[in-house]
A and B are shown apart, each in its own frame.
Chain A
């Protein structure tokens, strides 16, 4: 390996790309599309978050302005939480359009998170959403294919390769030089753009860039840089393997189709066939069955609640519920809530587990398709991934439980058992309850969640170098 040869070839590749008009024309198109995508993405996130904030404020005001009420009424009045988009979601929409945006939190019931954008959309959404991440993941590879398909194959066709090989440059030097040249061009064209868009968007949406956001932005830039490197190595390898530029182009376009259209869909549908998840009815039935096994607070003869009654009477040393210093009705309610919430969480975790196994099937496919690796990583770092949404679901359920529990405590101590439903307590009692704030998944957990994809991406880099070395060692490909 001669470093100076590699540099010369890289520089030569660089200038020859910039000399021709087509790459610049293509870049201009991509630049316009990226700017358009960034702008509309930013605008959409801003509008959407504003809408969610307004709704949140309305619900909060309503909550605070409640008159004096019976605490269990308040528990049924419940609360609504509106999901806001993450600051980087303008860059990568990820799952955002397919997950719910609002959830109603009430006593006794775990409601689904509803009102996803996909539910209010007709089929057009399914063609894919125009975001900057989509441009970088799908279209930049195509750009690399178009500027690079003839890089080695062309030299073979016009005989220049033989001349170069006679001048002490090894085939590996040429391949590495070509890779370095094209990668350099792609990096200089897209990485500053990426960095700038990420910074600007984050600044506009979140009003500033904190350490967490900065880490995400830097990581995204590095990972996309690696992704472009992988695609470039792939293009150079295929070009080196091909007899003519035309063959190289055909093979590369075919690979593109496979990577971006066929494999992602097949992998995910395969995942859902392999790991069957229960539908809603089956899911709810299973929970209901478990709840009635554990103890049904509505059934007066239920053994679990008979025991609770006996134990409570013993604890306070009285012989009837009416003589208890606390409200037994509230106690039963909280017990029922604890039981059903525990069972729900168990089933929900199980469901999430199944979904995760389904998703792992496509993560494993990242080993044969680098697009899947970058797709997952990009979503994770942008906070629009599966784990971020699951975290939202779990946090709202926890919040629902805590909130209901506090109301039951008020019920327990402030409401007398006799004539229970006729009494009211002061609104101050629940005005002090903390509001829900979503705790985003920290970047370290985002990365560990996507560790398989990260490993796949790094493996692809190694495999790329391996492939180049292997191809360069075969005489057949030098002719």
Chain B
């Protein structure tokens, strides 16, 4: 039998039958299964809540109409809430992202919108702090550790117990021996990645589509990147203890310290005082109108809705048309800071993406959240859709309010249905490219190091 093949087979036997592979793969699989359960559990509860919304909305409106019977539309219009929902994409179960932090249902009244957009969901903050153990966490955090465990002693152990010297003297090609050892590990890692991903795809019922494929490509590249990092450290030719220490340190730096510092940096360089500013302005903008003459308020309203000019608004007493015009001008006055807030949030996203260029862990996380539509940008899209819906509702009810139609003669459920944001297919090219570049760069360094430390060794006693 060919000597190369023999060495390779021996390596396969040694590696695969060792304890590391079995324990590593088994524990990862176990945590993986738990993560699928967790992701499914969290998103499924959100789905159930979202499914309950139409019934809640229907009963709510019925009650409003019951109470309001006999009163004019303008009086009743103060009370109803209109629900909006942010449905989860099929990939959200894989990567929960920010969906646990941000509200996925929002209810709005016909009053000024800005005060209603940032209502938070009820959640246990400690649960948010601990974070989700979802499939993306398993891949982003735990897979690198598995790779480290598989590779840190690939050569050092044999150097330490003297086997490597025998390999060097017996084998005809040291390159082939090195390549064989690495290949066995790489293939094992890729097989486990595919296996866990396939399990995720089946249990979470990910659709067979381009998106799922994109998800897989991000993960495969990411896994490759970590394998290259391991290769690079191993190629230094140091002891097992050194390799393990160095790799764990790299992992901590890339997965904990760097993102932690980057996050502070992003928050510090793009502060969002606009959030509170919008709320303060909207409140003041609306309430001040009560004590001001009615005409300027109405003029502001007519500028957008000239069709209501024909309805009389008494100057010395309350009228529903005026009330909703006041609410409207509250929004108008806070519109600038609200726009600015959205803009700043987008800037934060862009800046974080740029950070991803320096750190494949961040790049991978953001790509996964993008594919799953569970990032901040997706939430902003949702908030914008709520704003649109709020406008549709106002515009549907304005004629009744100005006409002072009796509550019971209006179809309260006849407003334009809420149009949830559709799945947005965002490009993850930059993320993929970042991971690929880092992987390729590390590979080159690793190859140079192998050449220097393992292949062309001048110092024979150290070989």
> Which residues of the other chain, B, contact A257 by a CB distance below 8 angstroms?
145
Contact check, B125 vs A281: say whether CB atoms are below 8 A apart. no
B262: Cβ under 8 A from any A Cβ = yes
**Inside 8 A of B102's CB, which chain A residues have their CB?**
119
B244 touches A253 (CB 8 A): yes
Interface members, chain A 70-99 (any B CB < 8 Å): 73, 76-78, 80, 82, 94-95, 98-99
Contacts of A307 in B (CB 8 A): none
Q: Using Cβ atoms and an 8 Å threshold, which residues of chain A touch B132?
A: 126, 265, 269
B53 CB within 8 Å of chain A: yes
The reply to whether the CB of A115 lies closer than 8 angstroms to some CB of chain B is yes
B90 beta carbon closer than 8 Å to chain A? no
| B142 contact set on A, CB distance < 8 A | 261
Judged by DSSP, the binding face of B is: helix
| Per-residue A-contact encoding for B254-270, CB less than 8 Å = 1, 0 else | 01110111111011100
Does B29 interact with chain A (Cβ within 8 Å)? Answer: no
C-alpha spacing A99/B365, complex, angstroms:
23
Which residue, A40, A58, A118, has most C-beta atoms of chain B within 10 A? A118
Cβ of A111 and Cβ of B119 under 8 Å apart?
yes
Instruction: Collect the chain A residues with CB atoms within 8 Å of residue B260's CB.
Output: 127-130, 134
Chain B residue at minimum C-beta to C-beta distance from A386: B126
Q: Please report the C-alpha to C-alpha distance between residue A292 and residue B87 in the assembled complex, in whole angstroms.
A: 31
CB-based contact A269/B127 at 8 Å: yes
Task: Please determine whether B290 and A69 come into contact, CB atoms closer than 8 angstroms.
Answer: yes
> What chain B residues lie within 8 Å of A351 (beta carbons)?
122
Contact string against B for A residues 222-260, beta-carbon threshold 8 Å, 1 for contact and 0 otherwise: 000000000000000000000001100110010001000
**What is the interface size of chain B, counting residues whose CB is below 8 A from a CB of the partner?**
84
| Docked complex Cα distance between A79 and B73 (Å) | 29
Q: Which of B183-228 contact A (CB under 8 A)?
A: none
B321 at the interface (CB under 8 A from A): no
A120-137 CB contact bits vs B (8 Å, 1 = yes)?
111111111110001000
B129-150 with Cβ < 8 A to chain A: 129-133, 137, 141-142, 145
Give the distance in Å from the alpha carbon of A76 to the alpha carbon of B240 in the complex: 68
* Residue in A94, A126, A246 whose CB lies within 8 Å of B240: A246
Question: Is A477 close to B, CB under 8 A?
Answer: no
> Digit string of A95-106 for contact with B (CB within 8 Å is 1, else 0)?
100111110100
- Residues in chain A near residue B280, CB distance under 8 A: 55, 58-59, 62, 80
Known A40-B268, A98-B101, A115-B276: A269·B118 in contact at CB below 8 Å: no
- The residues of A that contact B277 with a CB separation of less than 8 Å are 55
Question: Inside 8 A of A119's CB, which chain B residues have their CB?
Answer: 101-102, 118, 120
CA distance A262 to B31 in the complex (A): 9
Shortest CB-to-CB span from A56 to chain B, Å, is 9
Q: Is the Cβ of A283 less than 8 Å from the Cβ of B259?
A: no
Q: Name the segment of A43-51, A318-326, A332-340, A454-462 touching the other chain.
A: A43-51
CB-based nearest B residue for A41 = B264
> What distance in Å separates the Cβ of B237 from its nearest Cβ neighbour in chain A?
16
| Interface status of B98 (Cβ within 8 A of chain A) | yes
Please tell me which one of the listed residues B133, B244, B263 contacts residue A127 in the complex, with CB atoms under 8 A apart: B263
Collect the chain A residues with CB atoms within 8 Å of residue B273's CB. Answer: 51, 54-55
Is there an interface contact between A117 and B267, defined as CB atoms closer than 8 Å?
A: yes
B56 at interface by CB-CB < 8 Å: yes
- Closest residue of chain A to B52, judged by CB? A281
Distance A456 CA – B348 CA, assembled complex (angstroms)? 40
Q: B10 at interface (Cβ–Cβ under 8 A)?
A: no
In the bound assembly, the distance between CA atoms of A266 and B132 in angstroms comes to 9
Chain A: minimal CB distance from B140 (Å): 9
A33 adjacent to B257 (CB under 8 Å): yes
Please tell me if B349 contacts chain A, counting CB pairs below 8 Å.
yes
**Which stretch (A181-189, A209-217, A271-279, A404-412) binds chain B?**
A271-279
Provide the residues of chain A in CB contact with B375, threshold 8 Å.
122-123
Given contacts A113-B120, A279-B49, A280-B121, contact A128 B126 (CB under 8 A): no
A293 → B minimal CB distance (Å): 14
**Contact call B272/A112, Cβ cutoff below 8 A:** no
Please measure, in the bound complex, the distance between the C-alpha atom of A2 and the C-alpha atom of B36, giving whole angstroms: 54
B105 and A104 form a contact (CB under 8 A): no
A124 touches B279 (CB 8 A): no
A122 to B272, CA, bound (A): 13
Give the distance in Å from the alpha carbon of A409 to the alpha carbon of B343 in the complex: 44
Q: Is the CB of B129 within 8 A of A95?
A: yes
- Is A139 close to B, CB under 8 A? yes
Q: How far is the CA of A466 from the CA of B248 in the complex (A)?
A: 30
Q: How many chain A residues touch B (Cβ–Cβ < 8 Å)?
A: 92
Contact status of A114 and B366, CB under 8 A, knowing A59-B280, A69-B290, A299-B67: no
- What sequence of 0s and 1s flags, for each residue 326-345 of chain B, a beta carbon within 8 Å of any chain A beta carbon? 00000000000000000001
Q: For B264, give its contact among A44, A54, A265, A273 (CB under 8 Å).
A: A44
| Bound complex: CA A249 to CA B41 (Å) | 36
Which one, A11-19, A191-199, A354-362, A428-436, is touching chain B? A354-362
A-B contact count (CB 8 A): 221
> 8 Å CB contacts to B: which residues of A411-468?
421-422
Which residues of chain A are near B38, meaning CB under 8 Å? 269, 273
Does B458 sit within 8 A of A, measured CB to CB? no
Query: Which residue from chain B places its CB closest to the CB of A43 in the assembled complex?
Result: B268
Is B124 in contact with A359, judged by CB distance below 8 angstroms?
yes
B284 → chain A closest CB, angstroms: 6
Do A122 and B366 contact each other (CB < 8 Å), given the known contacts A43-B268, A129-B263, A269-B38?
yes
Which residues of chain B have C-beta atoms less than 8 A from A283's C-beta?
122
- Asked whether any CB of chain B lies closer than 8 Å to the CB of A36, the reply is yes
Is A268 engaged at the interface, CB distance under 8 Å to the other chain? yes
Residue of B nearest to A50 (CB): B273
CA distance A283 to B132 in the complex (A): 23
Against A, the Cβ 8 Å flags (1 = close, 0 = not) of B95-129 are 00110011101000000000100111111111111
Q: Is B245 an interface residue (CB 8 A)?
A: yes
- Tell whether, in the assembled complex, residue B125 and residue A124 are in contact, meaning their CB atoms are under 8 Å apart: no
Q: Which of the listed residues A114, A120, A351 has the most CB atoms from chain B within 10 Å of its own CB?
A: A120
Query: Given the complex of chains A and B, what is the CA–CA distance between A119 and B355 in angstroms?
Result: 19
Asked whether A201 is an interface residue with its Cβ less than 8 Å from the other chain, the reply is no
Known: A129-B260, A262-B31, A281-B53. A112 touches B120 (CB 8 A): yes
Compute how far the CA of A273 lies from the CA of B127 in the bound complex, rounded to whole angstroms. Answer: 11
User: Given that A122-B349, A146-B245, A246-B241 are known contacts, is A104 also in contact with B130, CB under 8 Å in the complex?
Assistant: no
A269 touches B133 (CB 8 A): yes
Q: Which B residues lie within 8 Å of A359 (CB)? A: 124, 126
**C-alpha gap A356/B241 in the complex (Å):** 42
Q: Determine the residue in chain A with the shortest Cβ distance to B378.
A: A122
What is the minimal beta-carbon distance from A374 to any residue of chain B, in angstroms? 15
Chain B residues closer than 8 Å to A47, beta-carbon distance? 268, 271
Interface flags, B284-324, vs A, CB<8A=1, else 0: 10010011000000000000000000000000011000000
Would you list the 10 A-B pairs with minimal beta carbon distance, nearest first? A130-B260, A127-B259, A268-B130, A122-B376, A355-B124, A98-B128, A98-B125, A95-B125, A265-B133, A124-B263
Since A130-B263, A265-B131, A269-B127 are in contact, a sample of 17 more A-B pairs with Cβ atoms closer than 8 Å, ordered by chain A residue number, is: A40-B264, A51-B271, A52-B276, A55-B280, A112-B119, A115-B275, A118-B98, A122-B369, A127-B365, A128-B256, A128-B259, A128-B260, A245-B241, A264-B130, A272-B127, A273-B38, A285-B56
23 A-B residue pairs with Cβ-Cβ distance under 8 Å, sorted by A, are A58-B280, A76-B287, A80-B276, A104-B279, A117-B267, A119-B101, A119-B102, A122-B352, A122-B366, A122-B376, A123-B98, A123-B366, A126-B132, A127-B259, A128-B260, A129-B260, A138-B256, A249-B241, A253-B248, A257-B145, A281-B52, A359-B126, A386-B125
Residues of B within 8 A of A (CB): 31, 34, 38, 41, 45, 49, 52-53, 56, 67, 97-98, 101-103, 105, 115, 118-133, 137, 141-142, 145, 153, 240-241, 244-245, 248, 252, 255-257, 259-264, 266-268, 271-273, 275-277, 279-280, 283-284, 287, 290-291, 317-318, 345, 348-349, 352, 355, 361-362, 365-366, 369, 375-377
